[in-house]
Amino acid sequence: MNLDGLSGEWVYQAQADPRRALLYFHGGAYVVGSPATHRALCARLSRQADARVLVLDYRLAPEHPYPAAVDDAVKACLRLFRDFDPGCVLLAGDSAGGGLAIATLMALRDAGHPLPRRVCCLSPWVDLEIRGESITGRASSDPLLTPDWLRDSARLYAGGTKTCEPRISPLRGELEALPPLLIQVGSDEILLSDARRLAQRARSAGVEVTLDVWEGRHVAQLADVCRLYARIRAGTVAGRAISPRVSTRSRPPLTTGFAQRAGHACGLFSQYGVFPATEA
């Protein structure tokens, strides 16, 4: 669908409450991914949150470096507020999409706009300076992400801007006055320290934070992410050439538990109190 020049896809269960919306930002390190890669996850989120999910097809690097993704996300959020009460809108995203969600909240707040009711970040990438301890400490146990690929993607996304810019690396930003935040992350992934540091900094800023760390890997809620990253390592995604510097070293095999954790994630999502009670 077209949203004032933006592209996106509505994904929702037939019985989803038409008064409730969830704006979702897909992952892919700002260089790959699309609504199609996250359709199954968003269908589950629609059912658990009883809301209509809009998956934004934001512009990607290197063709569209920062601030293109943030500009698209802010524009989509404001467009959504024209049709939905901000108190009935949730923001969510995984990996780069989780970082984009935080950057979007900061941009909305700084401009004096209303904010969504809550935000949910799945394995968020919020430090594009790649300074987290788990970047190297969990490199051997993460079957999906590599430090080299994150560094290359950060460089492509930042373009001519320094990666310490707060809306590129939201961990550098001011987090005061943001809505309640749910963070989910796997114990074996290289973005574990990003999630933990985001939770710590947000709590210190007075934000209500729920941090859920389980034994598992990157964005375990999204089984299809396995196929996405396999295609990345193969060299192309949807016809896009991927940097040959992406590591192709062998990884431990994925387990069925990886996909099964999607159910746990959606269950916690529904218990999080996403929306207030509404009258029929």
CB atoms within 10 A of CB 41: 26
Is the pLDDT score of 77 beyond 50? yes
pLDDT band at 221 (very low <50, low <70, confident <90, very high): low
> CA-CA distance, 262 to 219, in Å (whole number)?
9
Nearest residue to 121 via CA among 37, 178, 177? 178
Model confidence pLDDT, tens digit, residues 78-91: 999 999 999 999 99
The DSSP symbol for 254 reads: P
pLDDT band at 137 (very low <50, low <70, confident <90, very high): confident
pLDDT band at 5 (very low <50, low <70, confident <90, very high): confident
Model confidence pLDDT, tens digit, residues 19-76: 999 999 999 999 999 998 888 888 888 888 889 999 999 999 999 999 999 999 999 9
Which two tokens mark 276?
Answer: 């207030």
In percent, how much of the chain has pLDDT > 70?
A: 74
> CA-CA distance, 83 to 127, in Å (whole number)?
33
Confidence at residue 48, expressed as pLDDT on a 0 to 100 scale: 81
Residues 6+ apart with CB under 8 A from 33: 26, 27, 60, 96, 97, 228, 237
Model confidence pLDDT, tens digit, residues 250-274: 323 323 333 333 334 444 444 444 4
- How many Cα atoms are found within 13 Å in the side-chain-facing hemisphere of 92? 29
Is the pLDDT score of 156 beyond 50? yes
Burial grade of 227 (CB within 10 A; 0-12, 13-18, 19 or more): exposed
Which range (87-91, 170-174, 175-179, 257-261) has the least confidence?
257-261
Confidence at residue 188, expressed as pLDDT on a 0 to 100 scale: 82
Confidence at residue 10, expressed as pLDDT on a 0 to 100 scale: 95
Which range (53-62, 139-148, 174-183) has the least confidence?
139-148
Nearest residue to 173 via CA among 92, 74, 100, 76? 100
Model confidence pLDDT, tens digit, residues 224-252: 444 444 444 444 434 444 333 332 223 23
Residues 6+ apart with CB under 8 A from 276: 87, 88
**What mean pLDDT is reported for the chain?**
80
> CA-CA distance, 29 to 246, in Å (whole number)?
12
Domains and CATH numbers, the chain: 2-271 (3.40.50.1820)
Write out the DSSP string of 164-181: TSTTTSGGGS--TTPPPE
Confidence at residue 38, expressed as pLDDT on a 0 to 100 scale: 87
Which range (37-46, 78-87, 96-105, 189-198) has the least confidence?
37-46
Which amino acid type is present at position 78? L
pLDDT band at 141 (very low <50, low <70, confident <90, very high): low
46-49 contacts: CB < 8 A, separation 24 or more?
Answer: 46/11, 46/12, 46/13, 46/16, 46/22, 47/13, 47/16, 47/266, 48/266, 48/267, 48/269, 48/270, 49/20, 49/22, 49/90, 49/269, 49/270, 49/274, 49/275
Confidence at residue 216, expressed as pLDDT on a 0 to 100 scale: 58
Section 115-124 average pLDDT:
94
Would you please indicate which residues are annotated as catalytic (active-site) residues? 95, 189
